[in-house]
């Protein structure tokens, strides 16, 4: 009798444990997209941090972009060859030049301008202005008549408010600093502290110039996103297209870097933050996030991915304050919040427009 009870107890325990494990696995599968977008934004936050640290250590930004794109190309070539070499369409002369100019505008020019802007400003500002990318992309699509703005509808008003909030946020970041927010201790763990020395210059024309260069970089990036949709129609192999763009961008960046910097010492990479930033941005940002973002978009859609963008700003604020000693001002915080509001207004408007009319009518009736 005792053995029988023990046997029943064991089976009950085993069944309960198996049920809990199944529930845990199911919960992990359901929450996987949320964990992945957090990882993606953490990768971007580290990119802002390491890029700024490399520039603060005196690395030439044009050389940095060349090395970054070269590493990305080397990393992506085996994957592109293995997965898409048999299915890739032939590359015509016209399509090649479209990809060449797309790479020049959206990658080479965008990243070079971004590097200059980052030297003038801060990693926090770089993370903040990334939130206006969907707004810029929508505005450019509107100019090219890819998007339509119906100002008499709620989604149209939301998108218009989003554009205005983005402009207000950009203006706040550029022209207003306000008091410093001493929320965190500044440990400067990366061993180089330049941000506080630059604070005086941040109040000068250099800071304003950096803000507008950062927005210009995001504008070029937005144009790249919009124009890439046309190129993909003629060359649908996305991984090969990305690899080819990285390769062409490497050649373009090399030409620019050689024209700007002739000092051989600037081209040397030691075992320091410069090498770490180059390898990290080339592999993690260009390589790993490409796959992760594609996976998230397939599972949850592009709006879900875009809504996670403010996470990178929050992570960057705390990490740069601790690691680089960057001083966060009220203006940076307010400008960042305004950009996030603009982002969510545009995303809400787009999501409402994409909803089926029957769903909208049902939602309005129940509301």
280-309 pLDDT tens trace: 999 999 888 877 887 887 777 776 777 788
Q: Is the pLDDT of residue 9 over 70?
A: no
Average pLDDT over residues 158-163: 86
Higher confidence at residue 209 or residue 198? Answer: 209
Other CB atoms within 10 Å distance of the CB of residue 358: 8
Higher confidence at residue 304 or residue 126? Answer: 126
pLDDT reported for residue 110:
93
**DSSP class of 121:** S
Average pLDDT over residues 34-53: 90
Residue 318 CB partners (closer than 8 Å, separation 6+)? 184
pLDDT reported for residue 71:
95
pLDDT digits (tens, 9 = 90+) for 203-219: 567 888 888 999 999 99
Tokens (6 digits) for 196: 């506080």
Average pLDDT over residues 349-360: 65
Q: Rounded to 10 degrees, what is the CA torsion of 69, 223, 346, 300? A: -50
> In the structure, what pLDDT confidence band is assigned to residue 47 with cuts at 50, 70 and 90?
very high
Closest listed residue to residue 254, CA positions, set 84, 67, 94, 96: 67
Q: What is the pTM of this model?
A: 0.79
pLDDT reported for residue 68:
94
pLDDT reported for residue 355:
66
pLDDT reported for residue 85:
80
> In the structure, what pLDDT confidence band is assigned to residue 43 with cuts at 50, 70 and 90?
very high
Q: Is the pLDDT of residue 184 over 60?
A: no
pLDDT digits (tens, 9 = 90+) for 92-125: 889 999 999 999 998 999 999 999 999 888 888 8
pLDDT reported for residue 63:
94
Q: Is the pLDDT of residue 360 over 50?
A: no
- Which of 6-10, 33-37, 306-310 is predicted with the least confidence, judged by mean pLDDT? 6-10
**DSSP class of 266:** G
State the average pLDDT for the chain: 80
- Which of 6-20, 228-242, 295-309 is predicted with the least confidence, judged by mean pLDDT? 6-20
CA atoms within 13 Å, Cβ hemisphere of 216:
16
pLDDT reported for residue 356:
60
> In the structure, what pLDDT confidence band is assigned to residue 202 with cuts at 50, 70 and 90?
very low
């Amino acid at each position: 009798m005792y053995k029988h009870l023990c046997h029943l107890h064991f089976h009950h325990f085993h069944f309960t444990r198996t049920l809990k494990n199944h529930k845990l696995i199911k919960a992990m599968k359901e929450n996987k997209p949320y964990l992945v977008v957090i990882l993606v934004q953490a990768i971007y936050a580290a990119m802002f941090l390491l890029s700024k640290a490399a520039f603060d250590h005196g690395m030439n930004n044009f050389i940095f972009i060349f090395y970054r794109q070269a590493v990305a190309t080397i990393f992506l070539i085996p994957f592109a060859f293995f997965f898409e070499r048999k299915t890739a369409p032939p590359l015509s002369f016209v399509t090649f030049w479209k990809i060449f100019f797309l790479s020049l505008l959206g990658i080479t020019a965008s990243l070079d301008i971004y590097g200059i802007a980052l030297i003038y400003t801060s990693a926090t500002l770089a993370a903040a202005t990334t939130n206006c990318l969907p707004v810029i992309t929508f505005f450019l699509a509107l100019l090219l008549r890819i998007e339509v703005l119906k100002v008499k509808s709620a989604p149209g008003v939301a998108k218009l408010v989003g554009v205005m909030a983005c402009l207000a946020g950009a203006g706040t970041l550029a022209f207003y600093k306000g008091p410093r927010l001493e929320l965190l201790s500044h440990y400067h763990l990366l061993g180089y502290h330049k941000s506080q020395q630059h604070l005086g210059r941040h109040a000068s024309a250099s800071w304003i110039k950096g803000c507008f260069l950062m927005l210009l970089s995001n504008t070029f990036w937005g144009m790249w996103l919009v124009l890439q949709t046309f190129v993909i129609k003629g060359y649908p192999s996305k991984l090969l297209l990305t690899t080819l763009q990285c390769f062409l961008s490497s050649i373009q960046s090399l030409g620019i870097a050689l024209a700007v910097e002739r000092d051989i010492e600037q081209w040397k990479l030691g075992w320091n933050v410069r090498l770490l930033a180059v390898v990290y941005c080339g592999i993690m940002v260009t390589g790993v996030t490409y796959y992760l973002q594609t996976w998230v978009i397939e599972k949850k859609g592009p709006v879900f991915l875009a809504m996670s963008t403010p996470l990178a700003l929050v992570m960057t604020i705390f990490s740069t304050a601790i690691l680089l000693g960057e001083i966060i001002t009220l203006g940076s915080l307010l400008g960042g919040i305004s950009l996030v509001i603009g982002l969510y207004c545009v995303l809400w408007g787009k999501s409402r427009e994409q909803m089926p009319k029957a769903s909208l009518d049902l939602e309005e009736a129940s509301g």
